[in-house]
Amino acid sequence: MRTAGPVLLGVFGFPVAHSLSPEMQNAAIRRLGLRCIYLKFAVPPSMLSRALDRAESLGFRGVNLTVPHKEAALPLMDLLTPAARRVGAVNTVTFMGAGRREGHTTDGEGFLRATREDLGFTPRGRKVVVLGAGGAARSVCFALADAGARNIVLVNRTPARAARLARALVAEARIPSSAFRLSGRTPWKRLLEGAALLVNATVLGLHGEDSPVPARFLLRPMAVSDLVYNPPVTGLVVAARSRGLRAANGTGMLAGQGALSLERWTGRRAPLAEMRCALLAALARRDGGQRDPSGTDRTLPGSRPTAYPGRTRPRQAPAWRAYPGRI
Active site (catalytic) residues? 70
Burial of 288 (0-12, 13-18, 19+ CB in 10 A): exposed
H-type alpha helices, the chain: 21-32, 48-57, 82-87, 107-119, 135-146, 159-168, 188-192, 235-242, 251-266, 272-287
In 3D space, the residue among 75, 128, 115 whose CA is nearest the CA of residue 247 turns out to be 115
> How many residues are given for the chain?
327
In 3D space, the residue among 259, 138, 260, 143 whose CA is nearest the CA of residue 201 turns out to be 138
Give the helix/strand (H/E) hosting 6: none
Q: How big is the chain by its Cα radius of gyration, in Å?
A: 20
Q: Which residues contact 258 (CB under 8 A, 6 or more apart)?
A: 21, 24, 25, 28, 64, 106, 110, 270, 275
Q: How far apart are CA 13 and CA 163, in angstroms?
A: 29
* DSSP three-state, residue 111: helix
Q: How far apart are CA 176 and CA 170, in angstroms?
A: 6
Cα distance from N-terminal residue to C-terminal residue, the chain: 7
Which residues on adjacent β-strands are paired with residue 102?
79, 94
Q: How far apart are CA 312 and CA 227, in angstroms?
A: 29
